[in-house]
Amino acid sequence: MLVDRLGGPVHSKTARPVDQVVVLVVGRPASGKSTISELVAERWGLPIVAKDAVKELLFDLLGVGDQAWSERLGRASFALLDYIIELQLRTGSSFIIDAAYNAAIESAKFQAWQEKYGFTAIQVHCTASDDELVRRFTQRERDGLRHPGHADNERTDGFRASLADGRAEVLDLRGSVISCDTGAVEAVDDALAQLGQIIV
């Protein structure tokens, strides 16, 4: 039996199910990705693979430090996230990814996965105004809604500056893209309705 680098048998593309859907909830930090992901998971019974959840497990295991430590564990989290995503892709089951991706860095990897595993990609692009993103970013840290390991209290100025970097947030993949301005009334319900028309 052939075994791939993940330690499992190699499957031919013809043997794989054709109905695997990967819902990628993308956008900037504090854009509402986790809220949308949880709503999608609840409505359609899909598991969530979330970068922040992985990172917070590392904080609990390895400890909390300063901003530099948080960034180091952030890089490790993305590496672990990739491993978990590919394991999930191998199952052929649908799932949700919750992560703030830089499309210029991540698109090629996801394109290769889409070619290998043949999944249908649906991206929900969460957005809000810069002022609203900064307000949420600072508010959730003050309210204790974020794991202290993220060191958000040290990152507010850097986060504000990062919003002007012009990076693409939507990955270059075959599939639908649903835009969701989470600061707009009824936008979340509208996005979920659009998603439902595609999934069913």
State pTM to two decimals.
0.86
Tens digit of each residue's pLDDT (9 = 90 or more) over 160-184: 999 999 999 999 999 999 999 999 9
3-state secondary structure of 86: helix
CATH C-level class of 15-199? alpha beta
Whether 1 shows a pLDDT value over 80: the answer reads: no
Bridge partners (DSSP) listed for residue 97? 24, 49
Whether 151 shows a pLDDT value over 50: the answer reads: yes
3-state secondary structure of 123: strand
